[in-house]
Structure 1
Amino acid sequence: MAIDAFEPHPIVRLLGKPSAEFTAGDLVRAVEELELRQVNLRYVGGDGRLKTLAFPINSREHLAEVLTRGERVDGSSVFAGTDTEASDVYIVPRHRTAFLNPFGERRSLDVLCSFYDDGGTPLPYAREQIVRRAAEVLTQETGMTLEAFGELEYYLVDEPERIYPVEEERGYQESGPFSKGQRVREQVLGHLGAMGVPLKYAHSEVGNILEDDRQLVQHEIELQPVPVEQAADHLVLAKWVVREVAYAHGLEATFAPLVSGEGAGNGLHIHSRLVRNGTNTIVNKAGINDTGRRLIAGYLSAARALSAFGNTVPTSYLRFAEGDESPEDICWGTTDRTGLVRVPLAWNGDVLADMVAHANPGSTEPVPEPVTHPQTVELRLGDGSADVHLLLAGMAVAATRGLSDPGSLELAERLSTANHDDFEQLPTSCSEAADVLEAEREKFEADGVFPGQLIDALLAGLRDTDDATQDGEGAHDEAAREALIRRHWHVG
């Protein structure tokens, strides 16, 4: 297979094959030819963060063993509530995820892993297994694949600059020298592309916040659609890379829902589409179709419960109450940024051809068509505190139900901003989100997607995190509010 000349993944270029076809033998060859001396097995822990187990390479035999068999780890230290008397679990490399680690003292090959119990069964409460199971159920019941990608927002925190100082709330797609952190953003793009994470673009965001001793400048990375289980991994990798690059520049990066008493918070909007045999099934020539409306209805009907996965700290709900574009109403609209679900502007072929011809008079080049129609629906629920694997798994569960529920089209009609203006509201606290999830837990536990033990742990965690914010702490008192923001500064 010919590899595209623009392919950024060095291992793909070296091996001459796509990452989906990587084998353990391929990775041994890559390590040898690139003269690497370390392999890192990576996995997503119960806190949603990327973990590392580092192996110095002692021999070819040792390398092949690590890349094939993986290792055992202490599950009780990874997942809350695991029995310490039976906590040994296996992590097994997924070869297609391999990439060169751009950080650390020594160049290394990194591979994401999946969890299995002592009998070799997928560990039901491991994040990657939950979203994988949710995706499998959707495909089994509908014959379609749920593809998704995130819009990842974050702030870089630094001392205020005297030259070309930033202007508050005027950062949207600003260029240097008025934009700060452009080098960080570009390095993040380069690293993620080389790691096999497909990207759409990156830019500075609206949020510019000036305080006496610091400036906070907001940025966004938008990824490309991939099957939902890969989309979750890509978001975790992107967060890790942002933090590493910022740290190398002496900066702090935060994905917190709120970062200041003023200014925009960090959202995590998730775009999705349904694909069958390479065809986007949610759109036709007239726009969003009935399949798309059923998908939207599925998301909206589960939205209050999905908050338990997508909005996991008290500042998430302060953001809902105060953000200019943060949704509260459970509704949807076309290109409307106030609804919980938005159908963004897509490329109409005829209109695009006219625009290209107008912008480039005399050009006779054909306008390339995408392999799969780019139309998506955007769920604007999540923020930087989201447990991304669980949120995407929950979205897959909601999508499956929406596609099968005979009342979905009627619900979509009723919840359209074009027809009504009085809608149900999202939860107002972690505890309320926990109450909703508890009431609807059977939907998520069905088909063995979400284990009951995991739901119990999530409910307890959401309620515990509200204990420190009773009686509206942080909502009105400035000092308490700042303490609350700092307490949930490094989320996800």
Structure 2
Amino acid sequence: MPSLPADEARDFLDRHPDVDSIDLLISDLNGVLRGKRIPRDNLEKAFSDGVNLPASVFALDILGNTIEATGLGLSSGDSDRVCYPVAGTLMPSPWLRDARQAQLLMTMSEADGSPFFADPRQVLDRVLEGFRRAGLTPVVAVEVEFSLVDRTRDALGMIQPPCSPATGERAAQSQLYSINELDEYADLLEEIHAAARTQQLPLDTALKECAPGQFEINLVHCDDALAACDSAVLLKRLIKGVALHHGFEATFMAKPYGQEAGNGTHVHISLLDEAGNNVFAAEDSDPLGTPLLHHAVAGLLELMPASMALFAPNLNSFRRFQAGLYVPMAPTWGYDNRSVALRIPSGPNAARRIEHRVAGADVNPYLLLATLLGAIDHGLQRRLTPPLSITGNAYEQAAPSLTNSWRQALDLLEQSAPLAEALGENFLAVYLANRRAERDQAIQAVSKLEYDWYLRHV
């Protein structure tokens, strides 16, 4: 990736004389933003020359430890690559230090400017290149669910829902779509929207979700899939920062509470041809769309079992998959049906699209979309045919078949030739090594439940 003209940096500094430092951000495999903080005097150089970071940033597990099995650590000298700014992402961070701080998204390249294979953003761009060659443009909208959590733990050291800023009462009910709940958290939600406007993140709807303290914020449909994922990654950082400013923690854990609905990431996808027409919209207004939509659905369904290690990237992710909580348990599809994995939303024919409902909120947005578009391309290239769509309750018509085992999910991903082709064999090897090492560490931990159940009774 070539460097960017320093004009963007100079213009920003002229418009924001109070900004004294800039966070350079890059998304690791987990979607965690890592990087460096530089003084304002170094910003123009970051644009013209780039900034070095070790390739091992993509070898880090969720704790920030380097996984040597990825081959990106000491075995390769823990060598640097160059990171360049993503155009249009240099923005103030209004919730930090009285807006004296800014942020800039970066992406990693080799020394010759070619994409670095393990950067999730570059993985997505690789998949998008195939759509560009085919004259197709994905239009994407991301919906993000999150939970607000009290910063004080309960008597057992566990997290607990927040207390309402308006009433002081602790959230204990679902209150799905409650306007009262939106009113009670209005100051926080309004600051999220204000900060998003400052950062030019295109927010759409906000709503109260199923669990206590759980909300959803949607991003508008975007015909730049990379920008859509940039916005999703940066929105998560923004929400966490604003929540802390209001005395809460915001978490994107897939399953914060065992008996409550978890946090998901839903993605809406349509495809435009070179004339700007939605190729999923049937001329006869069939609500189930065109043959191309059916091929796309079939590709997504066929590769869904092998994609689970990307949709559910950690130990907690798999706890979200419980029947009756609006989480798909099998590869299913249907029209205007929230019990299926792939929902074809109602609405105008020109807006016909696929909503993918499987992934958790803990997913890496770049890897999620790369996987979905790779599966869509798989279906389009092979002109696959989907099974019959489901009407009614999918939980009663399709037995659970998506794995709830992290180990099996990783094995299925390793065996998938189509996903290796889409995402890159080298990337997939790094991802699998990283996830397996984290899994090995996670399963060694002995939980409190095990002590409670087994310590005295076996």
Indicate the TM-score class for this superposition, using the shorter chain for normalisation.
0.7 to 0.9
Note if 1:264 corresponds to 2:279.
no
Whether the 8 Å CA contact 1:153–1:220 is kept in 2: the answer is yes
CA distance in 2, matches of 1:444, 1:47: 18
Distance 2:305 2:448 in 1: 21
Question: Helix, strand or coil for the counterpart of 1:321?
Answer: coil
Show the counterpart of 2:108.
115
Write out per-residue CA displacement over residues 200-225 of structure 1, whole angstroms, 9 at most, x where no aligned residue.
211211212xxxxxxxx000011112
1:167 shift after superposition? 6.3
Letter in structure 1 aligned against 2:403: P
2: CA distance, partners of 1:29 / 1:181: 36
Aligned residues: 416
Give, in angstroms, the shift of residue 474 of structure 1.
Answer: 7.7
Which residue, 416, 424, 428 being the options, matches 1:455?
428
CA drift of 1:396 comes to: 1.2
| CA 1:478–1:375: 2 relative to 1, 3 Å | farther
Alignment of 1:305-324 (within 5 A): 305-324=306-325
Tell me if 1:135 matches 2:128.
yes
Q: Which residue of 2 aligns with 1:225?
A: 221
Verify: 1:173 aligned to 2:177, yes or no: yes
Q: Determine the structure 1 residue equivalent to 2:158.
A: none
Give the match's secondary structure for 2:210. Answer: strand
For the residue of structure 1 that corresponds to 2:103, the secondary structure is strand
Cα distance in 1 for partners of 2:252, 2:293 equals 30
Residue matched to 1:73 = 53
- Give the Cα separation in 2 of the matches to 1:389 and 1:182: 30
Contact in 1 for aligned 2:371/2:419 (Cα 8 Å): yes
With 81-90 and 379-388 compared, the bigger mean Cα shift is at 81-90
Tell me, yes or no, if the aligned pair for 2:35 and 2:53 is still in contact at 8 Å.
no
1:381-440 CA deviation, whole Å, 9 max, x = no partner? 10022122111111111111111113x23xx2x242149934671112111111111110
Cα distance in 1, alignment partners of residues 233 and 309 from structure 2: 18
Letter in 1 for 2:356: L
Secondary structure, aligned partner of 2:423: coil
Equivalent position SS for 1:232? helix
Q: Secondary structure at the match of 1:417?
A: coil
Match of 1:54 in 2: 37
Q: Which amino acid aligns with 2:301?
A: L
Unaligned runs of 5+ in 1: 1-21, 209-216, 349-372, 481-492
Instruction: Give RMSD over aligned pairs.
Output: 2.9
Query: Quick one: structure 1 residues 96 and 33, their matched pair in 2 at CA, closer, same or farther if it must change by over 3 Å?
Result: closer
| Of 279, 285, 294, the match for 1:281 | 279
- For 1:347-374, what per-residue CA distance to the aligned partner results, in whole angstroms no more than 9, with x for missing partners? 36xxxxxxxxxxxxxxxxxxxxxxxx43
Counterpart residue identity of residue 326, structure 1:
V
SS state at 1:72 partner: strand
Instruction: Tell me the SS of whatever aligns to 2:322.
Output: helix
In 1, Cα distance between equivalents of 2:438 and 2:114: 32
Which has the larger displacement, 306-315 or 178-187?
178-187
**Equivalent residue number for residue 335 of structure 2:** 334
**CA contact under 8 A between 2:121 and 2:366: conserved in structure 1?**
yes
Q: Is the 8 A contact 2:25 2:36 kept in 1?
A: yes
Offset at 1:104?
A: 2.8
1:247 is matched with which residue?
244
Instruction: Give the direction of change, closer, same or farther, for the CA distance of 1:240–1:169 in structure 2 (3 Å limit).
Output: same
State how far apart, in whole Å, the 1-side matches of 2:303 and 2:448 are.
Answer: 27
Residue 231 of structure 2 is matched in structure 1 by 234
The DSSP-based 3-state class of the residue aligned with 1:189 is helix
Percent identity for Structure 1 against Structure 2: 23
Q: What's the counterpart of residue 369 of structure 1?
A: none
* Closer/same/farther in 2, CA of residues 463 and 27 from structure 1, 3 Å limit: closer
TM-score (norm 2): 0.82
Give the match for residue 432 of structure 1: 408
State the secondary structure of the residue aligned to 1:153: strand
Residue 32 of structure 1 pairs with residue 30 of structure 2: no
Per-residue deviation, residues 146-186 of structure 1 (Å, max 9, x unmatched): 22222100110125459374664432221236864332222
Q: Which moved more, 1:244-253 or 1:321-330?
A: 321-330
- How many angstroms apart in 1 are the aligned matches of 2:92 and 2:329? 41
* Residues 1:94 and 2:86 aligned together: yes
Partner of 1:445: 420
In the alignment, structure 2 segments of 5+ residues that lack a partner are 61-69, 151-161, 454-458
> Structure 2 CA distance, aligned partners of 1:178 and 1:147?
29
Q: Return the letter of the residue paired with 1:42.
A: L
Matching of residues 366-377 of structure 1 within 5 Å: 373-377=350-354
Shift of 1:23: 5.2
On the 8 A contact 2:50/2:84 being kept in 1, the answer is: yes
Which position in structure 1 is the counterpart of 2:295?
A: 294
Q: Specify the SS of the correspondent of 2:230.
A: helix
Describe the SS at the equivalent of 2:267. strand
Structure 1's 396 and 26: CA in aligned 2 closer, same or farther, altered over 3 A?
A: same
1:125: Cα distance to partner? 0.8
Aligned counterparts of 2:86 and 2:314: Cα–Cα separation in 1: 31
Shift of 1:301: 0.9
Question: Is 1:378 aligned to residue 355 of structure 2?
Answer: yes
User: Please, which of 390, 406, 413 is the counterpart of residue 417 of structure 1?
Assistant: 390
Query: 1:124 touches 1:450 (CA, 8 Å); kept in 2?
Result: no
What is the Cα deviation at residue 461 of structure 1? 4.0
Question: In structure 2, what residue type is equivalent to 1:72?
Answer: N
Question: 1: CA distance between counterparts of 2:216 and 2:452?
Answer: 29
* 2:140 alignment partner, SS class: strand
How many Å apart are 1:323 and its aligned residue? 4.7
Q: Using the alignment, how far apart are the partners of 1:474 and 1:294 within structure 2?
A: 44
